[in-house]
Each structure stands twice: as structure tokens, then as C-alpha cells.
A and B are shown apart, each in its own frame.
Chain A
Amino acid sequence: MNKIALIIQREYLSRVRTRTFILITLLGPILYSAFFIVPVLAAMMSGEKRIVTVVDDSGKFKYKLKNGDDIDFDFVNTGFQEQYAQIGKKDGPEYLLHIPANFDIFKGKDIQLITQKSTSATFNASIENLLDSRIEELKMESFHLNKGLVDSLKSSVSIDAKVISEQGLKNSSSVAASIASYVGGLLIYMFIFLYGTMVLRGVQEEKQSRVVEVIISSVKPFQLMMGKIVGIALVGLSQFIVWVILTTVFYSIINTLFIAPHMAASAVHGAANGEMPDMIRKLQSSFTTLNFPLLIGMFLFYFLGGYLIYSSLFAGVAAATDSQSDAQQFMLPITLPIILSIMFLASTINNPDSTLSVVLSMIPLTSPIIMMARLPFGVPVWQIALSMFFLVGGFFFTTWLAGKIYRTGILLYGKKTNYRELAKWLFYKD
């Protein structure tokens, strides 16, 4: 077998076989699916109804107060003091709402909610909302307004956003696009850092354990460096592919088992409960307008390109320095562009076609993250092509640079390197 293939194989297997890798690879998708699904499920399944005991001394609300999603009102005829004494006791009220006899609908004050434990702000707000709708009715009655007329005055317009594409007008999906931007940009960031530092640590380990001299008496330093970089890239790709597959599987399992039946059930429930699933349905359908094959393909390209650029630089740094702390000073200028990209991620998503965004999506050090953020909104083909071209060029340049530094640095011990020294190494002959 080819030597570089042997190195790639070792780098790959020695990482893939570790317990941590297997655990993270398998648990990752579960966490991801949970990340997407739990909030939805939580919103849908907080089915436990809370019963609020109401003492209505004003008589304006009795049996006219509509129950909420998770709040049922229980009107009692006994007096407030009597109920008050029972709070917290068995069969006593848990939540006691007291509407005083002199309640003024135009002032909206003096209603008390009494509990043993303090209640959440959202719970209080839900009760307030439910009270408000009854108060509005009461006000309309006092002005002798027709409820149907008033309802018809309320307006809720929604813009139908379309974008021009080659296939004609398409539904714009700005929410879905923004989400895809964030996820794409952050994933690239995470992957570059995760696997880039893996390369850094790998080279440091070889240098510190001095195993490197044994190996480069068998293979060229450049082969060793590239073998490591490629091997770890394959580790990253494997992990990504497993994650995509498992996430899809988990998502569809959970979707068919829990969410779909729940949505069907709530659709039957009626308009009041139908709002939430409607929003999700809309979001889901807007996600389908995204070009996923393109996004995933581009993700792989920009992940690989960005990773190769940064990991070769990391390898150079690790080879040139003896210790973690020495490496820090060289790491800062290298990681700065990544951190900048993350800082500009939000502004890119707000305005994907601004000059700054376009420029940053061309520069090889920032393009992986920024271009991923721009892609869901649609980017002209020439810009993608140019950015990809620069990225490949950037990779060749950094690998050349890192190879030169690596070759000299990997055999030097106990000497602090500075930038002038590094610059000299670039021009050493073999």
C-alpha cells in the first residue's frame, strides 16, 4: 500500500475507534433531533390543565370566562374568605382568583391571584389575556357595539413574498433561509475548530513524543502532514454523514410517532388550538423550498476547503512550537478570521448581498462561514464559482506555506520561534 494511504488509514482508524468518537457520533443526532423537536413537543404537550378557582363577587365574569389552552376556570359560590382559608389544603384551591364586587372594567385593577407558590409570568399573562377578552366584550356591551362588527374591523394582513428564479416566481422563505444560514455557518465554524484542533493536537503529540523522527526517516514530512490532515478530514466527513443520516432517521421517527398525530388531533380541536401547528406547517413547507442538495453539497465543499486551509496552518503552528502555550501566540492571528466571520454572520444574514458580505464570502479565510450564510438566500453562480476558486487557491497556498514551516519546525526542539525565523524557513532548500 502507498505510504500516504497507510498514514491516512492510521490517523483515521486511531480516531474513529475511540470511545468518545463513537459516543459523540451516535449521541449527536439524538441531541440534534432533541434540539429541534423538544420545543415543539413541549409547546404541544404541556397538556396538563391547571384549575383556577374563581370567586367572582362582581358577577360580570361568571361562566362567561373562556378556558385557556391549559387553564380551566372553576367558579365557586362560596365566599372569598372561605376559599382563602382552604388554599393549599386537600381539596382546597391551588390557584384562587378573586374579582372584587366593585371591579371597574375601565380601570382593570384590583383582581387578585392568590397561590401558595409564586406563579410564572407566562401563566399570569395567560390569565390576563383570558380576562382581557371578557373585559373587551363587557366594554363593547357598555358601548352597545355589535361584536361581529368589531371583529370584522380587526385586520391581520400577510405578505406573500416571492422571489424571481429560473423556474419563475417561487415562494420566498426568509425564515427558513435565516435558520439555514445560521445552522450552516455555525456548523462550518464548529467543524473547522473541532477538526482543525485535532490536527494541531496530533502534530503536537507526534512532536512531543518524538515519534516524528522515526516516521520521517520512512516518509517525507509533507506526506506525514498531508496524511494526517486528510485522515482527520475523513473522520470529520464520516461523522457528518452519520449525523445527517441519523438525524433524518430520528427526526422522521419522532415526527411520525409524536408530532404528526398530535397535529392531526389539534387540527380537529378547532381554530383556537390550530394556530400553532399552522405556523409549524408553514415553516416546514418553507424549508422544502430550500435547495437542500445544493446546500449540503456546498457545505461539504466549504467544510473541506475551510478545514484544509485552517488545519494546514494549525499543523504548521504545532510543528513550529514546542508547547501549547507557545502555540497560542501564533494561533491568535490565524483564528482571528474565523472569529470575525462569526461576528459578521448576523449582519450577513440580515443583508446577504451587502458589499461587505460579498467580499467576505470571497476571501478564503472567511468565505467558508460567510458563503454558507449567504447561500440559502441565493447567490449568483459566478460569485460561488469565484469564491470556490479562491478557496482552492488559498488551500494550495497555505499547504505550501505550512509544508515549509512543518518540515523545518518538526525537528527543532527547545528553541522559541518568532515570525522572522518562520519567514526564513520558507526559503530553506531541501
Chain B
Amino acid sequence: MQNILEARHISKSYATHQALKNISLNVPEQTIFGLLGPNGAGKTTFIRIITQIIGPDSGEVIFRGKKMHRDDIAFVGYMPEERGLYRKMKVGEQVMYFARLKGLSKSDAEIAIRHWFTVFDIKDWWNKKVEELSKGMQQKVQFITTVIHKPPLIILDEPFTGFDPVNTEIIIGEILKLKQNGSTILLSTHRMESVEALCDHFTLINNAQIVIEGAVDEVRQRFKTNTFQLEIEGVSPQTDFSSNPDFQVEKIDKKGEGEFNLYINTDNKYNANQILQHYMQYGQVSSFREILPTINDIFISLVKEGAHE
């Protein structure tokens, strides 16, 4: 798979602190790429460098195989974290203005706007002023201005803040559709759980540095702790789960009479089948699965480790 975007050794300092330290990452074409990290990690600085709003102190950005040039931003759609529209401007005119700033002709822009206004069912908003819209409605308009020129690379900074669950679903649906139609989406967020559901690859930045990166599934596998969750019923009252030291029970939840929820770790001495077999002697196993860490868990454990070092 080809990379639409490559960042090579990007560093950026402001007067008092370093925002990015030697960041390198590759964004494969037609994927959803998560740029993760807590607030203040340097995500927005990194995005501003990609969108050519600011320049890096060192390092370079490669876009579609060539050093990224200012003119390339016509191929990028960017929705900043801090949303902004002209409040006094009418919705239709506003989207038209942004589309034309991106280089669309008037007639092309009009066709694209009609399409998106139909998708979001907001055709009758054309002559409304932005200040008359609710926050969620404004978000929709903002999203449209970002993707109106069918950019190959779409950068969304915290795209789900401000949306109610229904509209979040709509936006997620549209993001997936954009990916299917060939766009690459760079999604920056501090809400790690949204990444797991959506992203193919991700990079986690903390304190201006990359902490971890890779494909979502691969990373979760890499960081798994071999913990299994097991639900069991019909257990006799005398049973002592901690009798066998090989099967460490990390946590027991009693759910009812003779009904337990166990978290088991064998330090890799036994595989899943053996564990299941071992517990079958105690009663009826109703559910059994391996626990994969969430990206959030991984992040927190890594940050803690970092703090210990």
C-alpha cells in the first residue's frame, strides 16, 4: 500500500517548549489513520505543519511521494478542533466561499453543495444565517466545508465533539463512505475509544514524542497481558478459586448464588483451551474470552512506565 503522507523527523519548538520531537509517521492511502494523544501532546501543531499553516524547525512532509508544497493544500480538507464559521453569513454562501477558496469553480461547487445538503437533509438551510443554527447544525456545515472539494486527504481534529449520538453515527457513516470512495482520513483525537472502532492505523503522541504506533489490532495483540474473562454458574459454595497457584485469579465478581465473573492470568503457562478445561470442573462456563487491552489502557500503562523510568 502506498503512503499518501509521510512525515520525516519533524521537530518544532516554540519560545518556551518543544511541541514536536523528531516525529516520523506514514499514513497509508485509503485508510483511517488515528492521531492520538492527550490534550497538549502536539497533535494540533503537527496538523498545522501538514496543512502548511506553520513550518517545522526541521524535518519534512512528503505528500503523494513528493515534498509537500503549499499548493498541495488544495488536496487537503481540514476541520480544525476549534470550529469556526462566519456567523453573519448565509449557509449556502459560506460553503460556496470555502469551496471556491479551495479552488472549485462556481458551478462545480454548486453541484457538490447540493449533493451534501441532500446527504445531511439540510436543503432548506441555504439561506439561513449560521448564527441561527444550533451547535450540532453548525458542525454539519463545518464538516461539509471540509470535504466539499473531494480532497484525497481529510484531516479531522476532534471530529465528534459537539455532536449528539445520532449525528455522531451519521458522521462516522460518512467518514467510512469517504474512505470507500478513495479518501484517506487523518483523525486526531484524545478520545481513544473512538479510534478503536474506526481507525486502521494510529500513532500515539505524548509530550511531543511518538509513544506507540501501528495497526490497531496488531498493537492490541502486542500489548495483551494474557488475561481471560470467564463467567461461570452452578459453582458449589465450598469452591476455592485460588487453590491452584498456576491459575491466578486477578479479580472475582460474585454475580449471584454460585455465579461468578473471573479474571484469570496464568502468566502464559496455559493456553486458552487449558484454562477453559481447568475451570469447567467447577461448574457451567457461560462465557469465556481473552481480554485485549484498549488503546486507552495501553496509553495509560505506557505513560506510567515512562514516569517510572
Q: Which A residues are closer than 8 A to B by beta carbons?
A: 1, 3, 6-7, 10, 14, 205-206, 209-220, 411, 413, 424, 429-430
Contact = CB atoms under 8 A, between A and B. Distances in A.
B100 A14 contact: no
A210 B80 contact: yes
Interface in B54-113: 54-55, 70, 73-74, 76, 78-80, 82-89, 97-98, 100-102
A120 B48 CA distance: 72
B291 to A, nearest CB: 40
Contacts of A430: 54-55
Given A213-B80, A411-B53, A218 B101 contact: yes
A211 B78 contact: no
Contacts of B74: 218
Contacts of B79: 214
Contact of B84 (A1, A3, A212, A219): A212
B11 interface: no
B97 A217 contact: no
Contacts of B70: 220
A6 B97 contact: yes
A411 B97 CA distance: 21
A219 B55 contact: no
B87 A209 contact: yes
A318 to B, nearest CB: 15
Interface residues of B, number: 29
B226 interface: no
B48 A219 contact: no
Given A216-B53, A217-B73, A217-B78, A210 B84 contact: yes
B84 A214 contact: yes
B170 to A, nearest CB: 21
Contacts of B98: 214-215, 218
A422 to B, nearest CB: 12
B83 A210 contact: yes
A210 B97 contact: no
| Secondary structure class of chain B's binding surface, majority of residues | loop
B85 A211 contact: yes
B85 A209 contact: yes
A215 B48 contact: no
Nearest to A224: B101
Nearest to A223: B101
Contacts of B78: 214, 217
B53 A429 contact: no
Given A218-B73, A424-B15, A209 B86 contact: yes
Given A218-B102, A430-B55, A10 B82 contact: no
The listed residue with most A CB atoms (<10 A of its CB), out of B48, B55, B84, is B84
B145 interface: yes
B51 interface: yes
B50 to A, nearest CB: 9
B155 to A, nearest CB: 8
B86 to A, nearest CB: 6
Interface string B196-220: 0000000000000000000000000
Interface in B16-72: 48, 51-55, 70
A1 B73 contact: no
Contacts of B51: 217
Contact of B101 (A6, A210, A212): A6
A213 B97 contact: no
7 contacts: A1-B100, A6-B100, A209-B86, A213-B82, A214-B78, A217-B80, A219-B101
A328 B142 CA distance: 32
A311 B86 CA distance: 21
A214 B80 contact: yes
Contact of A214 (B48, B55, B87, B145): B145
A411 B48 contact: yes
Contact of A210 (B48, B54, B82, B100): B82
Contacts of B97: 6, 10
A427 to B, nearest CB: 12
Contacts of A6: 97, 100-101
Contacts of A217: 51-53, 73, 76, 78, 80
B142 to A, nearest CB: 8
A218 B73 CA distance: 7
Interface in B151-197: none
A75 B84 CA distance: 81
The listed residue with most B CB atoms (<10 A of its CB), out of A205, A209, A218, is A218
B84 A213 contact: yes
A351 to B, nearest CB: 48
Nearest to B102: A218
A1 to B, nearest CB: 7
A216 B48 CA distance: 10
Contacts of B55: 429-430
